[in-house]
């Protein structure tokens, strides 16, 4: 029951963030995402971006001590940030964010051992965006 409450709270938080981004300029959208990451996970994009892809999971899971559901919320935020960069035609940064989001979501799939339609849909959506970029 506690796990379900945590998941619902995280989904609610990211939904609020995404709703706040609607109609905003890209710079403001990035600020909203940054605020979310810092307030809810104690993580700045600058710190996260400084970590290599190979060390990202250990950084989030071990150094930051974040659980799988927090990592899933971060993946959703990274995906949203990638969307902003894609709209701004910063394709290289968007691709990096999309790949990192998939990396994190794949980890969550393995770590939680539970199937999630929402997570699966998000992974498929990100992969579709990556295909369209190519």
User: CA-CA-CA-CA torsion for 97, 99, 100, 104, nearest 10 degrees?
Assistant: 140
Domain assignments of the chain as residue spans, ordered by start: 2-133
Q: Are 104 and 81 in contact (CB under 8 A)?
A: no
pLDDT for position 129: 97
Ranges of residues in the chain with a pLDDT under 70 are 1-7
Q: Are 129 and 86 in contact (CB under 8 A)?
A: yes
pLDDT for position 7: 67
Q: How many CB atoms lie within 10 A of CB 74?
A: 27
pLDDT for position 13: 80
pLDDT digit string (tens) for 37-52? 888 888 888 899 999 9
pLDDT for position 26: 92
């Amino acid at each position: 029951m506690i796990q379900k409450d945590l998941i619902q709270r995280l989904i609610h938080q990211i939904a609020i963030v995404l709703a706040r981004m609607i109609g905003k300029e890209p710079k403001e959208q990035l600020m909203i995402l940054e605020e979310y990451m810092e307030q809810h996970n104690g993580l700045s994009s600058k710190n996260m971006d400084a970590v290599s892809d190979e060390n990202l999971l250990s950084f989030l899971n071990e150094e930051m001590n974040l659980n799988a559901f927090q990592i899933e919320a971060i993946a959703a935020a990274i995906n949203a940030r990638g969307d902003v960069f894609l709209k701004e035609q910063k394709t290289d940064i968007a691709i990096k964010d999309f790949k990192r989001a998939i990396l994190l979501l794949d980890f969550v799939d393995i770590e939680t051992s539970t199937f999630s339609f929402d997570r699966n849909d998000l992974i498929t959506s990100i992969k579709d965006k990556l295909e369209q970029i190519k």
